[in-house]
Structure formats: C-alpha cells, structure tokens
C-alpha cells in the first residue's frame, strides 16, 4: 500500500471544529488495518536506527501511532497531555493554536539528559502544539529531538516554528 493510497483514505470535514477549518480526519485511515500496518512499517523503518530512547505522543491522535513506533524500535512511550490529565508532578506550557489557546503538560520525570526523543503527532497545521511540545522536551536537556507528522498542511507554514537543528518530517502533504 502506498502513501498516496493512505492519503486518499483521509476524510476531509469542512467547518470543524469551527467554520472555515478543513479538518483532516484520520479515523478513516486508522480503521483500516492495512493502512495502520503500513504507516507503522514506514515510521519504524525511518526511526529505528537513530538511537531514539523515547517516543513522545501528543494528545490525542499522536497517541495512536507513537506507542506502536516505540514498541517496535525498543523505546519508551511518553504522553504529552492537556492540562489536568496527568496524575503526577508536571511541567507545562501555554500556547496559541489556530483556533484558540491551550496548555500542555508532561511529567517532570518523563525524560532525562540521556534521552533521544521522537515527538510524534498526526498533523502539522500552524505548528503551535508541536512547538510547545518541542519547548517542553527541550527543558529536559535531551541529547536530540526528532519531529514527525503523518500529514503536513504546507500552506500554513507550521514547520517554520521549529528549531533549525531539529529534523522535521511529514509522510504526506496537502
């Protein structure tokens, strides 16, 4: 199965969550076992030999692929969640996104200076959420950060927010 075939299964929902937004809905991709398996293979092949010790998934759709990648490459999984969802002591960051403001958190003991981190989410739009996640992870002084998305909305130029020394990759583009 090709990435073009997978991309063709992404449903576009107009005016969600607010008027004027074209929401790229991955549930149609994740429901298809072949798509899910192919995405996992592609991501594992891309990241398996980079010394990654932790895969950080961004709430909530980043939680779908991140644990599978982590398991296959022999890394741990760490969630970054919206405020109030993690049970232990956290650090947090407030940020703006394309249709509002939010706060994300990570456990204070989730990462160390010895970690090589892959940050994963499903979609890069304006980049606010992943930029906040990058900045949270950087507070731990990790060795290296990689960033991955399944899809990037190129015309929104979210990629420009990330530090130039970070490898940012998207599998599909709109």
Whether the ω angle into residue 31 lies within 30 degrees of 0, i.e. cis, is no
Contacts of 46 (CB under 8 A, 6+ apart): 148, 169
Rounded Cα gap, residues 60 and 40, in angstroms: 17
Query: Which are the catalytic amino acids?
Result: 61, 98
Contacts of 49 (CB under 8 A, 6+ apart): none
Reference 46, options 106, 110, 3; nearest CA is 3
Rounded Cα gap, residues 120 and 98, in angstroms: 19
């Amino acid at each position: 199965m090709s990435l073009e075939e997978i991309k063709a299964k992404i449903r576009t929902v107009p005016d969600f969550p607010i008027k004027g937004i074209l929401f790229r809905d991955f549930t149609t991709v994740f429901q298809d076992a072949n798509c899910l398996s192919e995405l996992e293979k592609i991501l594992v092949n891309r990241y398996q030999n980079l010394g990654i010790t932790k895969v950080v998934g961004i709430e909530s759709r980043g939680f779908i692929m991140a644990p599978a990648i982590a398991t296959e490459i022999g890394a741990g999984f760490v969630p970054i969640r919206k405020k109030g969802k993690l049970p232990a002591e956290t650090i947090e960051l407030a940020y703006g996104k394309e249709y509002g403001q939010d706060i994300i958190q990570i456990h204070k003991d989730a990462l160390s200076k010895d970690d090589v981190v892959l940050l994963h989410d499903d979609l890069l739009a304006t980049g606010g959420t992943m930029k906040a996640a990058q900045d949270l992870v950087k507070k731990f002084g990790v060795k290296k950060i990689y960033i991955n998305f399944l899809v990037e909305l190129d015309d929104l130029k979210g990629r420009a927010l990330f530090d130039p020394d970070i490898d940012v990759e998207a599998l599909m583009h709109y």
